[in-house]
Amino acid sequence: MRTSRPFGKISFGQDRIFWLIIAGLFVVYAVAQGGLVNLGLTLLGLVLAITVHECAHAWTADRLGDPTARYLGRVSLNPLVHLDPLGSVMMLVTAITGVGIGWGKPVPVSPHRLKYGSRLGNGLVSLSGPVSNLLLALVLGLILRFMTFLPGWLFVALFSIATVNIVIAMFNLIPVPPLDGFGVLMGLLSLPRGKWAWNLSQGLGRLQQMGPMLLIGLLILTQFLGIPVLGWLIGPPIRFFQQVILGF
C-alpha cells in the first residue's frame, strides 16, 4: 500500500516513548496470559512480513524509474524505516486478540515516473509486495522441508512466520483499494486495448475513494458479524500456498 505523501525516516530516538509503551504492553500481556511465545512469534511474523513487503515496493519502484522511496531510505530491511506507529499498535492488538489488521508506512511512489506507464508500472510495484511475502515463505518452507534436524521450537517459529507471510500476501491481493490487489487489477486492465477495459478501469477509479469503507465492511462482516467473507476470498489460496510451500 502506497501514497504520494512523502515520509521521512523514523528512529528509536524519535519515537522512544511510543516504543517503550508498546514494549510495556507486550510484556504485561505476555506475563498475564502466559502466551509470550505465541504472541512473540505472531508479532515477529507481522514485523518481518511488513518490512519485506514495503522494502519490495520501494525497491521495485526504484528499479522502474522512481527513486523517491530510495531517497527517503525506504529500500531497506530495517523495520524501523517501515513501521507506522498506529499500524504497529494495531499489529499488537491483532496479535493479542486475533481481531484487527496492522500496517506499515505506505511507500511513496510517483506513478508518472514509472516505466511501462503509470498504471502498469504501479501495478508491478503493487504486485511486488505480496510476491516478496510469498518468496520469504518459500525460503522458510525450503528450510522446513530439507533441514529435518531442526529443534521443535525453531520448526514452530519458522512455520508460524511463513504462515503469517502467506496470509499477508493473500490479504493484500484482494482487489479493494488501498490494498495492493487493486493496483494489480488496474495494471492488468491497462493491457487490453478494448474500450471495455478502459470503461471498466475508469469506473473502478471512481470507486477508489470508497475502498477503505469497503475494506472496513469486509472486516466487520468477518470478525464481528461472523460472516466469513474474508475466509471465502482468501481461505482457498492460503490453503493452496500452505500445501505447496509448507506441505501442510
Of 51, 129, 122, nearest to 84 by C-alpha is 51
User: Measured between alpha carbons, how far is residue 69 from residues 34, 127, 132 in Å?
Assistant: 40, 16, 17
What's the CA gap between 121 and 153, in Å, rounded? 42
Catalytic residue among 49, 54, 57, 179: 54
Question: How many other CB atoms sit within 10 Å of the CB of residue 197?
Answer: 14
Q: Is 54 a catalytic residue?
A: yes
Q: Dihedral through CA 133, CA 138, CA 139, CA 141, nearest 10?
A: 130
Where would I find the beta strands (DSSP E) of 71-198?
Answer: 107-108
The answer to whether the CB of 76 falls within 8 A of the CB of 55 is yes
What's the CA gap between 224 and 54, in Å, rounded? 29
Q: Which residues are CB-neighbours of 245 under 8 A, at least 6 positions away?
A: 134, 137, 138, 141, 162, 166
**Annotated catalytic sites, by residue?**
54
